[in-house]
Structure formats: C-alpha cells, structure tokens
C-alpha cells in the first residue's frame, strides 16, 4: 500500500445534485450497484449522463472519481506510474487504482475516445476477479468491496474507428439515456437556471426543431445542457432571441441553411 493515502473527501459529493428522473433508471442503477455490476450509460451529448452518475454517487454515499478519456491516454494514465524525484523514483496511483483502493465509483467518461488497447486494463476489474494488476509495481490490487466501474459513451458519433470491443462491452450492463420529454425537460431547464416555465417550454420547442434535423446536416441536436446555457444567458438580461442564437445555434452548426432554419424557428417561437 502506498504511504501517501489520497484524500477521499475531495471525491465525495457534499451537496445533492439536481437530477430529474426520466424513468426507473435510479432503481435499475441501485440494483446494479448492490450487485456491484459495472454499468455503461449511453446517450446523446448533454442529456444528463454525468449528472445522473453524480446523483447516484451522492445517493449511495460513495466517492466519485471521474476520468475524461481521450485519444492520447495510455494504460498508465489510468493505472498509475513511477515518477522520478530527487531520491530516485516514486509510484503514483492512477485514478482507477485509487478508486479500486478506496471503494469509489470510477466513472470513465466518453470511453470510446480512449484507444482500445488502453481500455483493456479495466477488464480484470470488471469481471468476477475484481482485481487490478500493477505489473510495473508488482502489486495486485484487490478492489474495495464498494468499488464500482461506470463508463459512458455517446453512440451518436460512433464511427467505425471508435467502438468498444465486444469483450469490453460484454462486461457491463447498460442504461440508455435520451433527452427527456417536453414537460420534464422544461422543468429541468427552469430548475437549473431559474427561468420561468413558459420560456423553458419554448426553449425545449426550439431544441426539438434541431433534434428533428439530426442526420440532415446536424450530427447532434441541441442538448439540454445548451438549453440551460441559453436560459442562463436570458437570466443575465440578454434578449431571448439573441440568447438562443448565441447558445443554441452558433455552437452546433456552421451550415448556413440550418442556421437559417433554426433562426427562423427561434423567431417563430419567441414572437
């Protein structure tokens, strides 16, 4: 065991995050956690995947360690590595190892962004073994009984190059997320930003316009997160239409025709 035990408190979530359930996902996740099954959450960007995991960590009173995956990430970025210091070398645990030691929920966000040879290091942790071999250090970490691994990915921009191996996929049970229905989404936007519910409904209506255009020039519709941004801008006193253009249209597309259509939708909704 390493002598510099990490500070658990920084990973614990002190305040209840706002989460509006869309279905029975809380119960499903609770059951999976009780059995310590690894979970995969799927869904379009900005629909509340990360927020849900945060909320569950708070509900289950477990620390949460989040790793945003990227292409340059190597296995040692997850597991840990030796560092040079004045006296020689020092081992530093990676986030996955810390989580396994302290019994945290380890959340690998956008896992497909990592290369496939990196993702295989999670395999021994996600089956019956629940161990993590640190071959450089010559240590076999046995996962804390409370440890759980969660991964997220967005099937929307799945390309042929970016997919999980079957052997990785088949170690998880999956939860599917999508944008909530109009009423729920409006409630979320209004709760998050404090905007009135009529405006929130109108924002959701614009988002639906963009989601209808997915695949016709848009890779991804307007997410709930962007709606909250737009509402926040309005709360700052920005005129509604300008706020929508800034937060909802300009970020997602450079296609002139789509911009034009969305701008028109905004003008139609906010008369």
Residues that bind another protein (CB under 8 A): 81-84, 88-89, 205, 209-210, 212-213, 216-217, 257-258, 260-262, 264-265, 267-271
Nearest CB to another protein, comparing residues 10 and 71: 71
Nearest CB to another protein, comparing residues 16 and 257: 257
Q: How far is the CB of 252 from another protein (least distance, A)?
A: 13
Q: How far is the CB of 271 from another protein (least distance, A)?
A: 4
Q: How far is the CB of 12 from another protein (least distance, A)?
A: 32
Quote the Cα angle for 60-174-182, to 5°.
Answer: 85
Return the structure tokens found at 81: 């590595």
Nearest CB to another protein, comparing residues 157 and 270: 270
Q: How far is the CB of 215 from another protein (least distance, A)?
A: 10
Q: How far is the CB of 251 from another protein (least distance, A)?
A: 17
Q: How far is the CB of 228 from another protein (least distance, A)?
A: 21
Q: How far is the CB of 248 from another protein (least distance, A)?
A: 12
Nearest CB to another protein, comparing residues 174 and 217: 217
Nearest CB to another protein, comparing residues 18 and 82: 82
3-state secondary structure the chain: CCCCCCCHHHHCCCCCCCCCCCCCHHHHHHHHHHCCCCEEEECCCCCCHHHHHHHHHHHHCCCEEEEECCCCCCHHHHHEEEEEECCEEEEEECHHHHHHHHCCEEEEECHHHCCHHHHHHHHHHHCCCCEEEECCCCEEEECCCCCEEEEEECHHHCCCCCCCCHHHHCCCEEEECCCCCHHHHHHHHHHHHCCCHHHHHHHHHHHHHHHHCECCCECCCCCHHHHHHHHHHHHCCCCHHHHHHHHHHCCCCCCHHHHHHHHHHHHHHCC
Nearest CB to another protein, comparing residues 183 and 267: 267
Q: Is residue 150 a contact partner of residue 52, using CB atoms and an 8 Å limit? A: no
Nearest CB to another protein, comparing residues 58 and 91: 91
Return the structure tokens found at 262: 């969305």
């Amino acid at each position: 065991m390493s002598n510099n035990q990490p500070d658990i408190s920084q990973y614990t979530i002190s305040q209840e995050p706002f989460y509006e359930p869309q279905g029975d996902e809380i119960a499903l996740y609770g059951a999976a956690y009780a059995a310590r099954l690894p979970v995969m959450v799927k869904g379009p960007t900005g629909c509340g995947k990360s927020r849900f995991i945060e909320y569950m960590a708070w509900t289950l009173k477990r620390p949460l360690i989040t790793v945003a995956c990227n292409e340059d990430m190597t296995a040692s970025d997850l597991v840990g590595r030796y560092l040079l210091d004045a006296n020689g070398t020092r081992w530093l645990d990676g986030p996955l190892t810390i989580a396994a030691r302290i019994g945290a929920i380890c959340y690998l966000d956008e896992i497909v962004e990592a290369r496939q040879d990196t993702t295989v290091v999670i395999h021994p942790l996600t089956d019956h073994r629940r161990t993590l071999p640190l071959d450089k250090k010559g240590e076999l970490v046995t996962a804390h009984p409370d440890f759980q691994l969660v991964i997220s990915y967005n099937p929307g921009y799945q390309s042929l190059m970016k997919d999980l191996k079957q052997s990785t996929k088949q170690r998880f049970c999956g939860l599917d997320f999508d944008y909530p229905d109009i009423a729920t989404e409006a409630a979320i936007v209004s709760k998050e930003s404090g905007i009135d519910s009529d405006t929130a409904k109108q924002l959701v209506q614009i988002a639906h316009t963009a989601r209808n255009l997915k695949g016709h020039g848009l890779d991804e519709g307007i997410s709930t997160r962007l709606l909250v941004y737009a509402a926040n801008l309005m709360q700052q006193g920005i005129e509604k239409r300008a706020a929508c253009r800034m937060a909802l249209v300009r970020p997602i597309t450079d296609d002139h025709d789509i911009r034009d259509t969305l701008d028109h939708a905004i003008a139609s909704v906010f008369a």
